[in-house]
Structure 1
């Protein structure tokens, strides 16, 4: 829970600090500008609120790691929801409106998470898991999107080190193998999820793990 709050607060603070003119810069998500990513974070905040008021009566079917589905191909931007987010982001017109909506919904999602019982069983995307595992899974979501936010914003504040380390740990469990020790947590996350291609030296170090990458999670 603490790591969820730390990562989510850091991400929302980073968005608040982005100058208006940088909202039309590319983000680390292929095909999305910074404004599109921020709009996606608003949807994420809504999802957190919806999930926390959708209790489940059955036993958990997933945990923080198995919550993530791994796709065979990276997103192209043709998915209807991805396209909708781009249109929604453009409709805001002014960055301050996106910032306001994220702060409003994001703060509510953060408070709801702090009040939730970690043992509560919740349902989302036809999966049942404890709220604690759901929060843990979202540390990876917040951390990856924090990296996406600052991908083309030199000097921007990076995600918390604790969130990076936990996210790397989860990605390694999803992969079923550890990244080389020479990889920083950021490099492991960016290369591991296909946000950037490995260098020739990194490719050699990855060894058999390279065949499993990228891990397109969602």
Structure 2
């Protein structure tokens, strides 16, 4: 729960600190500019708020690791929902409006997470899981999207180191294999999720794990 709050706060701060011109830069998400990614984060924050007030009475069906599905293909940016995000982001026109909306709903999602009972059960995506597992799963979401946000912004703030480490551990559980110890957490995440292609040397170190990559999470 605490790591969720720290990861989310770091991502919100990174967005708040962006100069207006950076909203027109490409993000690490195929087909999306930084402004599109921030718009997507608003939708994510709404999902958190909705899920935390959607109680479930049945036993959990997934946990923080099994919550994630492995997709067959990486996103192309042409999915109807992805295209909708681009149109929504463009409608803001002024980056300050996008920042304001993100800070407003993002702060609410952060407060809701801090007030939630980690042992309570909630429902989302036709699955049931504890609040603790749900928020732990979202550490991965925030960390990867933080990396997406700063992909082409070398002066922007990096994600928290503990969030990178936890997300790497989660990705290794999803893959049922460990990344080479020589890989930094950031490189393991970028390579593991297909955000960066491995070099020949890195591919050799990955061994059989290379055949499982990239892990496209959905």
Normalising by structure 2, report the TM-score: 0.99
Equivalent residue, structure 1, for 2:143: 143
1:195 aligns to what SS in structure 2? coil
Alpha-carbon distance in 1 for matches of 2:135, 2:188:
21
Question: Residue 2 in 1 paired to residue 18 in 2?
Answer: no
Which ranges of 4 or more aligned residues in structure 1 deviate by more than 2 Å?
none
**Distance (Å, rounded) in 1 between the aligned partners of 2:188 and 2:46:** 29
Whole-angstrom CA distance in 1 between matches of 2:91 and 2:155: 28
Deviations 1:97-121 (A, max 9, x none): 1100010000000000000000110
> CA–CA distance in 2 between the matches of 1:82 and 1:124?
20
Question: Gaps (5+ residues) in structure 1?
Answer: none
1:43 pairs with 2:43: yes
Alignment of 1:208 onto 2:208: yes
Alpha-carbon deviation of 1:208? 0.1
Provide the C-alpha distance between the structure 2 equivalents of 1:58 and 1:211, rounded to a whole number of angstroms.
Answer: 37
Q: Where does residue 94 of structure 1 map in the other structure?
A: 94
Aligned ranges 1:21-170 → 2 under 5 Å: 21-170=21-170
Cα deviation digits, residues 181-213 of structure 1 (max 9, x gap): 000000000000000100111000000000000
SS of residue paired to 1:84 = helix
Aligned to 2:129, the other structure's residue is in SS state strand
Q: C-alpha displacement at 1:30, in angstroms? A: 0.8
**Unaligned runs of at least 5 residues, structure 2:** none
Q: Secondary structure at the match of 2:122?
A: strand
2:196 corresponds to 1:182 = no
Q: What's the CA shift for 1:26? A: 0.3
Counterpart CA distance in 1 for 2:166 and 2:68 is 15
Shift of 1:21: 0.4
Aligned length: 218
Shift of 1:154: 1.1
